[in-house]
Chain A
Amino acid sequence: MQIYVCVKHVPDTAAKITVKAPNQIEEAITFIMNPYDENAIEEAVRIKKRRGDAEVIAVTLGKPAAENTLRSALAMGADRGILILTEDPPDSLVTARALTVAIEQDGTPDIIFTGKESIDNAGFQTMYRLAAALDMTVVSNVAAFALEGKRVVVECQMEGGARGVIELSLPCVIGAGKGLNKPSYPTLPAIMQARRKEVKRIALDSLRIEKPSARADILELKPAVEARRAQQLKGSAEEVVRQLIRILREEARVIE
């Protein structure tokens, strides 16, 4: 069984992002593996541990520095990596086509995991385009995953806290959500082993993907304006708790 996991090299959520050119950020900051992709890798590695016959291949598209994220995936338990090299930031269409060709050239996917979104562009498109190109079913924001023979049963987190249980057949594309698992981080011996694992480097041009008839470009980036304001709750402990519950329920809507 071959499990491909698409990962992305993204700016650290804690980094201070500054806009350098109209459509570029200052890249001399810390980059990390897209956090949802950590859940994707973790789930793939768990399947491999349970089944014994699975190979986990991490795939990414980006600049040479994206290899760091592939090495992180390898340290977390992926067997090998594929790095599709490009200097230009690709849109979702190009990304999905490049991933499709690279995966098809490499092997026969039974499951493809991605994160439910990337935290930098948050385009919410790549996994759907990938599934369409490969003629696979796709589900996103997956919070529970079970593989039984050729059958996959997932729980998806939906709007308003609802959960849907969906059955899929293999092969399929799974968009991992935060609730899917708790990623177990690598130890130094695993990180050292990952340095020796195979990473196949492919130039984007050499994949000869079908040139899309349309493209999306980012024209301008603007720093987010922090509009939130701190609010101090006053009163006795009981009153404060009551106010807090009301805010969480009615304003933040994170509890029912």
Chain B
Amino acid sequence: MNPKYDAIIIGAGVIGSPIAYELAQMGYQTLNIDKLAGPGAGSTAASCAIVRAHYSTEDGVAMAYEGFKYWLDWENYLGHVKDEKGLAKFMNTGSILLKSQGHDWRKVKKHYDAVGVKYEEWDNQKINAMVPVYDLHEYWPVKRPEDPAFFHEPTQMLAGALFCPEGGYVNDPELSVHNIMRATETKGGQFIFNATVVEVRSQDKQVLGVTLQDGTRIDAPVVVNAAGPHSFKINQMAAGVWEGCNIKTKALRHEVMHCPSPEGYDYLNKGYHTSDGDVGIYYRPEVGNMFLIGSEDPECDPQEWVDPDEFYAGQGGLGRDNQLTEAQWKAQCYRLARRIPTLPIPNQPKGVCDLYDCSDDWIPIYDKSDLKGFYMAIGTSGNQYKNAPVVGAMMAELIDACEKGLDHDQQPLQFKLRNIGRSFNVGFFSRKRAINYASSFSVNG
């Protein structure tokens, strides 16, 4: 007889683990299956783990702001579980959104007001008082260093910033998932690693369970796809699921750079997470007094959609594998160097290259599927780490409601955010939706 669980979650990253944690608390016997050696060891480990509230939609802002409350109260969320590795730390630096043409900050401000996000308006003088190394000239539009116009001298100034004091980042995203795993285990949840799912079994449009590469069959009436960059491969294994999604997911290669702070500036302890749409990047402090520089996906940058298995195996060649490229190193460091002219730029690229599980409109799919019992928490598009505990609660409620007979496609679940007390329509994340053109179509979500 095959081992049997109430719910199998494919993936033990920052999305799959909180779903298990919440389901386990509701009494489900859960099993997370991950092909890697430990929790959060895949693309989660490479996440910049930014905790910010600015999103392009009001519901996006609300969900992110709800997430803040979990990170600010991490021990409580985990039920004060003991983790032998220690707890991940929320680095509450505060978050600066520079007012620029690269962000629709007026819309963000409107959403902040509607949701009740705490924020301050800073003028340039205030920004420079808080961050003396920033040069607040306007460099828009975003360009690549190969374009001679990149080096043109600017004439205009930026118009200040929105500052969100509750923002920041999590210092160790992989550890944060280990924390959630330990908390889940106290509720009876189980995890297996180094186990690759090769088949999602079903009969008469009802999921039955999964088969692993070694032939092991595990049964469950509920299977959740939280496989990160492999999400599209898992969907293609499940009968009718891929075909039933109007919004698809695929794996997008992304590079994040680590560049030292200017001499004499203690960015690690005094710096802020900053979203800088004017030059198409965001940055936050990193260990070693470094700037961690992520890309906001400007239109002039190439996009490489890759096969996740080939990517992680280091195959595909320059610009398609998991190695940094000199061109992108220069693009991201030089862009930050326009904002910080004293930034030292090493000759050797340093940073991280990993994958986004990107959806067609850069908004996730948190939904049921056309296969009964098969659910999806996918398409996180590089912008859902901060939301993961909220996603866990929302997906668990969605799964439980659907298993008890809710027709979510016809009458979408209304999910109440526990901390900020606001409800929203989970149908926003439907697989059947039309592309949401209110999205930024970038990591900004």
Chain A residues with a Cβ under 8 A of chain B: 12-16, 26, 28-33, 35, 38, 68-69, 72, 184-189, 191-192
**B interface, how many residues as a size bin?**
20 to 34
A28 surroundings in chain B (CB, below 8 A): 317-318
- Residue of A at shortest CB range from B328? A30
**B410 CB within 8 Å of chain A:** no
The A/B interface has a contact count, at CB < 8 Å, of 59
B325 surroundings in chain A (CB, below 8 A): 30
12 contacts between A and B (CB under 8 A): A12-B349, A29-B323, A30-B323, A30-B325, A30-B349, A38-B347, A185-B260, A185-B344, A185-B347, A187-B337, A191-B345, A192-B151
**B155 CB within 8 Å of chain A:** no
User: When each residue 333-349 of chain B gets 1 if its CB lies under 8 Å from chain A and 0 otherwise, what string results?
Assistant: 01001100111111111
- Whether A30 contacts B326 in the complex (CB less than 8 A), given A13-B348, A184-B344, comes out as yes
Of all A-B residue pairs in the complex, the 10 with the closest CB atoms, nearest first, are: A188-B337, A185-B344, A28-B318, A30-B326, A185-B346, A72-B347, A32-B348, A33-B347, A16-B314, A32-B347
B343 CB to nearest A CB, Å: 6
B346 surroundings in chain A (CB, below 8 A): 185
A185/B326 in contact, CB under 8 A? no
A185/B345 in contact, CB under 8 A? yes
**B324 CB within 8 Å of chain A:** yes
A188/B338 in contact, CB under 8 A? yes
A188/B334 in contact, CB under 8 A? yes
- Whether A186 contacts B344 in the complex (CB less than 8 A), given A16-B321, A192-B151, comes out as yes
Please report which residues of chain B, range 238-272, place their CB below 8 angstroms from some CB of chain A when the two chains form the complex.
260, 263
CA distance in complex: A185, B347 (Å): 7
A78 CB to nearest B CB, Å: 13
B35 CB to nearest A CB, Å: 19
CA distance in complex: A16, B350 (Å): 14
- Residue of B at shortest CB range from A189? B341
B337 surroundings in chain A (CB, below 8 A): 187-188
A184 surroundings in chain B (CB, below 8 A): 263, 344
CA distance in complex: A191, B321 (Å): 28
Please report which residues of chain B, range 346-381, place their CB below 8 angstroms from some CB of chain A when the two chains form the complex.
346-350
A187/B348 in contact, CB under 8 A? no
A30 surroundings in chain B (CB, below 8 A): 318, 323-326, 329, 349
CA distance in complex: A87, B326 (Å): 22
A31 surroundings in chain B (CB, below 8 A): 326
- Residue of A at shortest CB range from B327? A30
A30, A38, A191 pick with most chain B CB within 10 angstroms:
A30
B314 CB to nearest A CB, Å: 5
A15 surroundings in chain B (CB, below 8 A): 323
CA distance in complex: A248, B337 (Å): 40
